[in-house]
Amino acid sequence: MISKMLEPLLSQLNEMRVILASSSKQRQSLLASTKLKFEICTSNFEENLDPREHTFSDFVEKTAIGKLNDVYQQLKNDQRKPDIIIGVDTMVTYNGKMYGKPKSKEEAIKTITDLTQSGIPNSVYTGVAIMYKDQIHKFTEVTTVYMAKLDKEEILAYVETGEPMGKAGGYGIQGIASTFVTRIEGDGNNVIGLPLCRLVQELKRLLKNS
């Protein structure tokens, strides 16, 4: 479906140098599913914004822009400069608090415990920044995720699989966590880390208006 939506513009896009500023295998796989030709350039941006000083949307958008700008600096002197750079950042929120990637098993246990005990859903915010013709365009996509209640042994067993590490909110919806996700409201791809539908619409809009 996504590739069909993008198909009329693929020939135009595939003549450009498109960069995804992310090392995430999940994001790479999702973007590749559109049949778009793109390169990977990992950002070295230090994700050190203070969550207390930003709204959820501002936080992920500013981090996405930071990643984008870092990659732009890496590539700006290339003989062929990038035409499009895409920066992305994902954050899970619950009960007014942001949850990033767990830094330890203990943090992962606490995160999954928080997300699965109350019946209250968590929200996944993904900020996307697109640099095109020296201008940055940004947006945030939000998806709501409902989870089943897990007992202590189930939480420990999940953390021991290693899946929570390196994932915002400590879970991978495309993996084992799918067994305790009861409902999703919004774009499921957004939970994986890249809101494909919205991204495609933004690319179409930018190219149409250029």
The β-bridge partners of 19 are 39, 85
The answer to whether residue 89 is catalytic is yes
Number of Cβ within a 10 Å radius of residue 149: 11
69 torsion bin: left (phi>0), alpha (psi -120 to 50), beta (else): alpha
Helix H or strand E encompassing 122: strand 122-132
C-alpha span between 54 and 111 (Å, rounded): 21
Three-state SS at 155: helix
Catalytic residue (choose from 89, 114, 134, 151): 89
Three-state SS at 132: strand
C-alpha span between 184 and 206 (Å, rounded): 29
What is the set of active-site residues?
Answer: 89
